[in-house]
Chains A and B, each alone.
Chain A
Amino acid sequence: MKEILVDIDLKEKEEYIINIGPQHPSTHGVLRLETCLQGEEVKYIIPHCGYIHRGIEKMSEKLTYPQLLHLTDRMDYLSAHINNEAVALCVENAMEVQVSERVKYIRTILAELSRVASHQLWWAAFGMDLGALTTFFYGLRDREKILDIFEESTGSRLIQSFITPGGLMSDIHPNFQKRVKDFIKYFRTKLPEYDDLLTGNVIFRERTQGIGILSKEDAIDYGVTGPSGRGSGFHCDIRKIAPYSAYPLVEFNEITFAEGDTYHRYLVRMKEMWESLNIIEQLIDNIPQGEIMLNLKAIKAPKGDYYQRVETARGELGVYIVSDGGPSPARIKYRSPNFSNLFVLNKISAGHKIADLVAISGSLDLVIPDIDR
């Protein structure tokens, strides 16, 4: 933070300040980056957030737990299932109830599917940030298959509100298992195509390798989690550190790289898609029978403080609930991954070209509504 303050003093002098955003193709939302340039070179960036602040945390204080769940979809809309799961797990822990194995399996499968969908969209948009426009259509083509699976089972494509405290809204569709298996088979043939189009490209490698290097120490200092943190060698996968739902039952690798540049942040996500497919494959055939929704009289957390963290597609999402024993929380706080990931941008892109700034912010995979909440 200190460097930023020093730079603000510099701003008094005549400098070439350019506002990237709030409306700009490469900020992927209403984020404003006040960028100081020297020619093509970025001197510093001051991110301004708050353009899409909806007061989700304050609003939640007036809502019951099953109601406030629907607001969590709107934070990181690309991993809506995982956000739901975080609140559901937190409330279940507070009430000290255990959901059935079936629910745990389905939750994990849905979470991994949304992770794949999120990474697909990220890949699509990242290519576009770098000027390779065709990736966008490839990514969306395959994401559509996952959204169709979601639609069939949950009734909704983007913001499902499917995972609730106590279980699931409804049972999965009879076709679910078959379609997911079909998707895994299909997507395993498509992932090498992604590599052919972008990963192996010389221009792409030149644009990303050695750009925006984030050291492990900085990643820990700034709290950069998720694939962005793992690209710097920071072991921060909550699925490994504090397994929840069905993650203790599956085998998968935590992908980390020591390099910490844009290219390795990219590789982490590409490899995570393979891992997610493996996780789903281990679970999809073994979904046990069991009840879908616990028969709870009232969903009330007892008086006290509760914290639950989960791994979303972008990093660690923490839910902190302060309860006074009533049906709605006295105070709720989300520790959203994107907020922490955004503020490392100044650190890693200062001194690079303006084109690199776009690549770096793309590689951090920011979802703006999650920053502001």
Chain B
Amino acid sequence: MYDFTAMTDSINKYLNVNFSPFWAGLIAMILLGVTILTFYSVLGLYLVYAERKICARMQNRVGPNRVGPMGLFQTVADLIKLLLKELIYIRNADALLFNIAPFIVIAASIMAIGAIPFAKGLQAIDLNIGVLYVLAISSLGVIGILIAGWASNSKYSVIGAMRSGAQIISYELSVGLALLCIITYAGSMQLSEIIASQKDGWWIFKGHIPALIAFVIFLIAGTAETNRGPFDLAEAESELTAGFHTEYSGIKFAFFFLAEYMNMFIIAAIATTLFLGGWLPFHLFQWDGFNRVMDFIPPVFWFFGKTALVIYLMMWFKWTFPRLRIDQLLTLEWKYLLPINLMNLVMIAFLTLMQWHF
């Protein structure tokens, strides 16, 4: 039920039959590109809307409620405003790098979206090293942030970029190790394989406590990686006004802004795929009736439901925690998360070797 493989295969077959391999590939690429870009922008806008509504709820406010029903089009209006805004060019800024930085940031997050499995068959590329690919691509964004900070010719921006560089490079380790735990369990780096390995139970349940630890560490490190929440030192508005994007305006600022939200989505989507069973429905023991009802809900809903849950968690601690200081941030990573993570990995390797996981 709800298998998209047939649909994607038939499109693929149609293209291959009617066009030469070169044109078929090109058309497939264009189709995918348009789909992903549309999906990206719509999702980005509604994540911004969701965050504004959720934080409003936490702060005794109403949130956007004027444009459209329940303010649903508020972020669209904001985007139009940002599109029409004047782009400010800064004297003595490095024009080429200054202009290219937001594109690097946003391109990195768009590329990562391509590897995420939304449902069975609904995945742009199913690489055999999918996890590695997503990790590598999503950390490319930091190059854009560093360039933005450097090219702006602003002291606040440089400090912000410097912080962001230190932060992302450190937390990359924790993200990688936390994911390695699940790779050890599943025995594969291919995202579809990892999902398939969770057919009889999600890793967070059947991976014992180590999987839970890995999940928590992944959430913390993932939040740090997206420059959000208590780890938003790169922006730190009360210290650095806006950090690395202080000097950006209009649509270039919007690129940074959208990329931040999409990075959050990517982290949540990876957490869903690796720990929470991806698009697989929730099954309980051998209760066939219950399981069949769960099967009836389409996998896309399962995927987005779980992702939304993780995103809600990340928003929750963004809006209730104070910000860490840079040295505390690095202490947390190098002195606590990394050693715990390494021990956790050893434990998981042992469990996998003994076949003690369910």
Contacts and interface: CB of A to CB of B under 8 A. Distances in A.
B60 A138 contact: yes
Interface in B300-358: 319-328
A356 to B, nearest CB: 7
Contacts of B241: 24-25
B155 A16 contact: yes
Interface residues of B, number: 28
Interface string A201-212: 101101100000
Interface in B220-239: 230, 232-233, 236-239
A241 to B, nearest CB: 35
B320 A197 contact: yes
Size bracket of the A interface: 20 to 34
Contacts of A133: 55, 59, 319
Given A26-B238, A130-B238, A201 B322 contact: yes
Contact of B232 (A18, A131, A141, A358): A131
Given A353-B326, A355-B325, A26 B239 contact: yes
A357 B240 CA distance: 12
A198 B322 contact: yes
B216 interface: no
A358 B323 CA distance: 12
Given A131-B230, A198-B322, A204-B322, A358 B328 contact: no
A130 B326 contact: no
Interface in A124-162: 127-134, 136-138, 141
Contact of B322 (A16, A25, A26, A132): A132
B292 interface: no
B232 to A, nearest CB: 7
B177 interface: no
Contacts of A134: 55, 58-59, 319-320
Nearest to B235: A131
A30 B156 CA distance: 18
B321 A132 contact: yes
B290 to A, nearest CB: 38
A296 to B, nearest CB: 46
Contacts of B155: 16, 18
A127 B326 CA distance: 18
A353 B325 contact: yes
- Secondary structure of the B contact surface, majority rule: helix
B243 to A, nearest CB: 12
A163 interface: no
Contact of B325 (A127, A137, A207): A207
Contacts of A16: 155
Interface in B236-266: 236-241
Contact of A355 (B59, B61, B323): B323
Given A18-B156, A137-B59, A207 B322 contact: yes
B178 interface: no
B239 A355 contact: yes
A141 B328 CA distance: 32
A285 B23 CA distance: 87
Contacts of A96: none
A356 B238 CA distance: 11
Given A203-B230, A354-B159, A129 B321 contact: no
5 contacts: A37-B159, A128-B238, A131-B238, A138-B59, A353-B326
Interface of B: 55, 58-61, 155-156, 159, 163, 230, 232-233, 236-241, 319-328
Given A18-B156, A204-B322, 5 more contacts: A130-B238, A131-B322, A203-B328, A207-B325, A207-B328
